[in-house]
A and B are shown apart, each in its own frame.
Chain A
Amino acid sequence: MIGPIFSSLTSISTYLMVRQIRSRGAGLLAASFIATIPSYISRSVAGSYDNEAVAIFALTFTFYLYLKSIRTGSMFWGVCASCSYFYMVSSWGGYTFIINLIPIHALALLIIDKFSSKLYTGYSMFIINGTLLAMVLPVVGFNAVETSEHFSGFFVLALMNGVALVKYLKGTLTEAAYKKALRLFVTTSIAVMGVISLGVITFAMTSPTLRWSGRSLSLLDPTYASKYIPIIASVSEHQAPAWSSFINDLRTAIILMASGIISCFRPLSEGSLFLVIWGVLSVYFSAVMVRLMLVLAPVACCLAGIALSDVLEVLCRSAKYSSDNNQPETQKVEKKKKGKQSSNRRNSASGSKYGLIPRSLALLGIAGIIFVLSYHLFHCSFLGGEGYSSPSIILQSRSRDGGTYVFDDYREGYSWLRENTDYDAKVASWWDYGYQTTAMADRTVLVDNNTWNNTHIATVGRAMASPEKKAWDQFRKLDVDYVFVIFGGLVGYSSDDINKFLWMVRIGGGVYGDIKERDYIGEGYYRIDEKASKTMLNTLMYKLSYYRFAEIVGRDGQDRVRGTKMGNPDVKLTYFQEVFTSKHWMLRIYKVLDKPNLAA
């Protein structure tokens, strides 16, 4: 239930945020967009949510409270904003986005000369309290004052203090004295700040712990991960998104987002500037990694809500007040004075009657918008249901008469492990299946989805890529009892371990020097047929996947995923013994023998 509860809370906080920036109508539209957008649904669907469901709620709520504290200048809201920031830090590592976005926004406000005591109050409360609170969490600890990701907050705070001092002097000193004082202050402060910044930057660059962490660097430089950290590059969610995923995940919101950015400039307030900066930055980051499309989703919804509310405001006003003939212009001339006195807060009941269009056109426009929105809703619910709601542990396909056929191999394998092995048995597999094995098979695994320990995963990868005897030695040293692989060759399941094998080689090779990727690639490209490299045909992964496969499909039989014949149909195992193969040969479990099987 956590997913739906938090996504409804996200809708509410998005409404509050956009209502404060623009008007109630824009808030409602933005909330309805974020309630239905597939990108967010993918992370918050009931039954398969991720911690980002909670994190996006914390994000929008923090931004709402922060914008409110800047607008009212009250310290109480600043305290609330930092509490919400604390919640955000404890829920997702993406909090570094907030702690950099807010200083950038404050810097932009300082540059366009919108400094006020309210900005100072809100910002400084947020940074000071937020940093202290973030340090309380063990995960962040001293990182909050030491790593480069947090420096921008302090830098802008120092800058803001300087600007506050200058404004105060301007208020107190006389004109001539102020000019001289300003000159003096500016020169000394530039010198001091320059020296300090230079010192901090050189110190941070040379020290290995203070530099930007690997995760942040892989965001700033998209090619970083593939060169230095293969485990980050191997996750499919970390690849750059295709155009289709932008349209698929965000549909109408991404199209309206551009006009939303333009709408934000008329008029430009602190809140709308914040949305613009947030939007531009998240477009860059979501283009680096598919996973970060999630950060683009809330701002795309807000901007789309603003754009749509602007359009609807004109249309609805026209539908209400104008008629079909030439009257709108005379009405415009008459009511212009009234229009100029209308309040800043753009509510659709403001009563200003300029810019009307003929009534029939207005009604046509409204009907068009209703059509577009309902199409968007239809698409979102379709994608949410079909695309993002199916559990990945049970696969299904359509059979010839239209019914669904279920592949339940994963659960079959896990329940075999649960029933037929000792409670203390240790199971080795690739890290993708770790959490599932721990939860469903209830056995200890070597590596799981929490990929914190790169060396350990590299050890398993190296073992999978070694010849059988060496792999047996390594697994015996690690005290492993069972090894399992996922094999899709019989049914055509393409996310199996043979397809992931090159990543095992890369990650293993990143830590151990004796595994080289070149050795595993056959003639021309990575293949497993007769032109595969000798090393590849001797690896444990190949043997465990294709053991006895020739008995089912024949010696010349085809592997349905690769579409080629096997390179070595006679696979013999001396150190491992097959104990279980699931119904569609998708999950194959092998026991690690104490002594080699001499009879084989």
Chain B
Amino acid sequence: MSRVSIPDLGEIVGVFRKEYAKTPKLVKVVDCFIVYAVTTALLQYSYMLICGSFPYNAFLAGLGCSLGFAILTVCFRMQINEGKMLEKVFADYCVACIFLFLVAISYVG
């Protein structure tokens, strides 16, 4: 197994950029949403590291909510085929989001 060197990494990133530009616009919007959700999760985690984790259940609820929302959006993205949005998938996504937020709010206390 030969080592992967820095030029190879640059090549991978370049190829990825080129291929990614081909994805439909709708899917790119969803991808931004995923990045945003993961960022909120990271922000919450770093806040916990700085300021302590009291109250613990609020921290867990917030973190679980952001991570859950990120994963939900990933599932949604996987089901949107080539930028074509089906009503059923979107309805599922809304129901799941509402449920997740409900549970997280009830746990934040």
Contacts and interface: CB of A to CB of B under 8 A. Distances in A.
Contacts of A164: 74, 78
Given A79-B99, A181-B12, A117 B60 contact: no
B20 A136 contact: no
A180 B75 contact: no
Interface string A54-79: 00000000000000000001111011
Nearest to A183: B4
A117 B75 contact: yes
B92 A74 contact: yes
A172 interface: yes
Given A78-B96, A124-B71, A73 B79 contact: yes
Contacts of A132: 61, 64-65, 68, 100, 103-104, 107
A499 interface: no
Interface in B38-84: 56-57, 60-61, 64-65, 67-68, 71-72, 74-76, 78-79
B65 to A, nearest CB: 8
B95 A75 contact: yes
Interface in A134-179: 135-136, 142, 145, 164, 169, 172-174, 177
A131 B57 CA distance: 13
Contacts of B68: 128-129, 132
A92 interface: no
B87 interface: no
Contacts of B74: 120, 124, 164
A73 B11 CA distance: 35
Contacts of B20: 172
A349 B107 CA distance: 50
A172 B22 CA distance: 9
A133 B76 CA distance: 22
> Binding site of A, secondary structure by majority: helix, strand, loop or mixed?
helix
B15 A135 contact: no
A75 B17 CA distance: 30
Contact of B103 (A129, A181, A184): A129
A47 to B, nearest CB: 36
A53 interface: no
A180 B11 CA distance: 9
B9 interface: yes
A183 B2 CA distance: 9
A266 to B, nearest CB: 30
A326 to B, nearest CB: 53
Nearest to B2: A183
B100 A129 contact: yes
B16 A120 contact: no
A173 B16 contact: yes
A120 B77 CA distance: 12
B103 A75 contact: no
A121 interface: yes
A125 interface: yes
Contacts of B78: 117, 120-121, 164
A76 B107 contact: no
Contacts of B103: 129, 132-133, 136
21 contacts: A74-B92, A75-B93, A79-B96, A117-B78, A121-B75, A125-B71, A128-B64, A128-B67, A128-B72, A129-B100, A129-B103, A132-B64, A132-B104, A135-B107, A136-B106, A136-B107, A169-B16, A173-B15, A173-B16, A177-B16, A184-B8
Interface of B: 1, 4, 8-9, 11-12, 15-16, 19-20, 23, 56-57, 60-61, 64-65, 67-68, 71-72, 74-76, 78-79, 88, 91-93, 95-96, 99-100, 103-104, 106-107
3 nearest A-B residue pairs (beta carbon): A117-B78, A177-B15, A75-B96
Interface of A: 73-76, 78-79, 117, 120-121, 124-125, 128-129, 131-133, 135-136, 142, 145, 164, 169, 172-174, 177, 180-181, 183-184, 187
